[in-house]
Amino acid sequence: MKLRWIGSVLLSAAAYYVYLPLPSGVSEPWKLMVLDALFRSCMHVGDVAHALGVCHRVSLINQVVSWVEVIGPRSCPAVDVSDILLGGVPTRVFRPIGGQKLKRGVVYFHGGGWALASGRMRSYDLLSRKMAEDLDAVIMSVDYRLAPEVVFPGQYEDAMAASRAFLSAAVRERYGLDPRRLCVSGDSAGGNLAAAVAQELALDSSLEVRFKAQALVYPVLQALDFHTASYQQNHDVPILYRPVMARFWLQYLGADPALEPLLLANNHSSLDQAGLPAAHRSKLDWTALLSAGRRKHYRPVVRATGSPGVVDAVPALTDARAAPLLAERGVLARTPRRAYVMTCEFDVLRDDGLMYARRLRDAGVEVTGDHYEDGFHGCMVFACPPVSSAVGRRSMDGYIRWLDQNL
């Protein structure tokens, strides 16, 4: 009887920890709850280790992820898999066996807040393997350096080095890449890097070969407004909470973590910030860039006075290499002629993607917006076991289908 009572108490405690009220429209809520509980547990352990001075919270989480998720390069009858250095950056290459002599090519940047994950993780390995096989394409999944050991512009520089090498004649010849059918892509923080790369290389007149397309999956694109409609709607929806995103930004930019409350209050983008001109504000004015259906009943949070000097102290907040949504229209007009932007309704970053799609379209780029009404942040990489998210499978299929039709 005593064991039964203890078991009931432990089960109730576990259910209390796992259960989280979620919006009614989110896909398979119990799967998301369990997934979120695992993430929160890792974050809490990391916070304890950080507080005790054992290691940085992110370093511990990455060690756990590496132990559980990272796998070696395993070829199969359909796809040859190898690890190389691409422009000096560790990269896993997925090369289909047989098929066309000249292959389509995708250089891919994984997500994880510029601080977590790896292209060698099981989930990204499965994604790249499926892309290679379904598209008869060479996929190069880049392992750029991570925060806190490396901060901006380190990750961006790795992405640029890998992308330049990907476009080079030597790599194209070695892997049989069709120079007319190349794409830069990534999800979340990797979508940020892909967008930044697409912008920078658009301005490089020395390139012989350019990307035909960019494909961005729920990208993070700005850090000046943490009260967009989607941030307000989804601030407590897993797996990416609003404070966590602010923390990722500060880590990436090498800024003082004590600034987190200022970012969350939009004090860093107040009207009295001398380093933030009106031209920047217009590029992320979601009241003008979003449809009424996405704005809903939410209102902008613009402080008349805030915390002076934050933008001056963290200049990368307004650097388009870190925040691609701030790019000039002329730059956007020169990016690849075809763009794909995936967004999810239950994601704080939804409006980053929607605003970028609108700005690209206004600049003359052919944009496909792929919105998942029941999607949540990160869903595409949870398409495979053990999570096997239904919206993850649909979004992965939609992403690969667009690549097949447009690359």
Catalytic residues, by residue number, are: 188, 347, 377
Give the C-alpha separation, 319 to 323, whole Å.
Answer: 6
CA distance 279 to 359: 14
Specify the 3-state DSSP secondary structure of 152.
Answer: coil
* 71-75 contacts, C-beta under 8 A, 24 or more apart: 71/120, 71/121, 71/122, 71/125, 72/120, 73/120
* Contact call for residues 83 and 90 (beta carbons, < 8 A): yes
Half-sphere exposure of residue 349: CA atoms within 13 angstroms, side-chain side: 37
Pairing, β 366-376 against β 103-109:
unpaired
- Beta strands of 193-323 (E only): which ranges? 213-217
Distance CA 62, CA 150 (A): 14
Q: Give the pairing of strands 213-217 and 177-187.
A: parallel
Which run of H or E residues covers position 368?
A: strand 366-376
Comparing CA positions, the residue from 79, 61, 58 lying closest to residue 69 is 61
Give the H/E segment covering residue 106. Answer: strand 103-109
Assess contact for 187 and 173: CB atoms under 8 A. Answer: no
Residue 4: enclosing H or E segment and its boundaries?
A: helix 2-18
Query: Residue for token digits 């890449």?
Result: 177
The two tokens of residue 41 are 């547990």
Token pair of 199 as six digits = 């912008």
Distance CA 185, CA 35 (A): 25
Query: What distance separates the 2 farthest-apart alpha carbons in the chain?
Result: 77
Cβ distance 397 to 379 under 8 Å? no
Tokens of 3: 């064991």
